[in-house]
């Protein structure tokens, strides 16, 4: 069996006692694969991301990153993970290089190693010729690429991204989706990509379909479609997200 980069088992969480934002959520992200966390607004994607990245603690359940339990071995679990939050967190008055150098220092990466990795990542993300440019001068798509490069500086095996294409135009969105799929396929990175957009999911991806805080279906595209009774992934999404919570 393929090693799991992320295992979420029986996770529940509520902002208030009455309403659960997540209810008994279980799924896994295999190493080296692209997994889409698909769900409409309010499904619980951001809440789940906050639990996975340790911003909130789950009331119930267990989260393991590359075999390390988040609760028992938080440093090892977090070191194996790169994160891109929904809201951009770059300093727009610093250059790309300065933003990356700052993050590398926070990760405790020695300067010479950081220099090498930055050069590698800037080339990988087609940003090398803009390294000295202030983030303020970059397009939305470029800024997102800088954030992903920053999230990969410490060489994580799992990258989690919370709706990273929000606010991008169609071309930049397609380019970013393409870029991250290639990272998966060419470098064996495991990706968990939260979205509500079906067209960001490619053949061969895995899907976790979340609605009203519950996993409605999970697995390959075919498995998710079968769980909805057939048709396309779009039809399955429609079918499983209009059904009321049980």
> Which stretches of the chain bind ligand ATP, using CB under 6 A?
15, 21, 39, 41-47, 196
Nearer to ligand ATP, 15 or 107 (CB): 15
Residue 212 per-residue DSSP state: T
Residue closer to ligand ATP, measured from CB, 79 or 198: 198
Task: Provide the minimum distance between the beta carbon of 46 and ligand ATP in the complex, in angstroms, as a whole number.
Answer: 3
Residue 85 or 125: the one with the smaller Cβ distance to ligand ATP is 85
Nearer to ligand ATP, 20 or 124 (CB): 20
Tell the smallest beta-carbon distance from residue 21 to ligand ATP (Å): 4
Q: What are phi and psi of 74, to 5 degrees?
A: -60, -35
CB of 61: closest distance to ligand ATP in angstroms?
A: 16
Number of H-type helices and E-type strands within the chain: 8, 10
| DSSP conformation letters of 57-96 | --SEEEEEETTEETTT-HHHHHHTEEEE-SS----TTSBH
Cβ atoms of 130 and 138 closer than 8 Å? yes
3-state secondary structure of 165: coil
Closest approach of Cβ 78 to ligand ATP, in Å? 20
């Amino acid at each position: 069996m393929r090693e799991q980069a992320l295992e979420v088992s029986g996770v529940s969480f509520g902002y208030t006692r009455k309403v659960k934002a997540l209810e008994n959520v279980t799924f896994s992200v295999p190493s080296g694969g692209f997994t889409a966390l698909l769900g409409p607004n309010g499904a619980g994607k951001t809440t789940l991301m906050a639990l996975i990245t340790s911003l909130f603690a789950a009331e119930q359940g267990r989260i393991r990153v590359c075999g390390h339990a988040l609760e028992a071995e938080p440093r090892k679990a977090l070191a194996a993970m790169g994160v891109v939050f929904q809201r951009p967190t770059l300093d727009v008055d610093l250059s790309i290089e300065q933003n990356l150098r700052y993050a590398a220092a926070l990760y405790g990466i020695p300067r010479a190693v950081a220099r090498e990795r930055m050069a590698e990542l800037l080339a990988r993300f087609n940003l090398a010729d803009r390294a000295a440019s202030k983030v303020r001068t970059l397009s939305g798509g470029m800024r997102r690429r800088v954030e992903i490069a920053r999230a990969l500086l410490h060489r994580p095996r799992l990258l989690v991204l919370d709706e990273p294409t929000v606010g991008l135009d169609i071309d930049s969105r397609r380019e970013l989706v393409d870029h991250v799929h290639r990272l998966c396929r060419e470098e064996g990175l495991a990706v968990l990509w939260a979205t509500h957009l079906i067209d960001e999911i490619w053949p061969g991806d895995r899907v976790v379909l979340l609605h009203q805080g519950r996993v409605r279906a999970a697995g390959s595209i075919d498995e998710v479609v079968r769980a909805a009774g057939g048709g396309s992934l779009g039809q399955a999404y429609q079918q499983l997200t209009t059904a009321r919570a049980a």
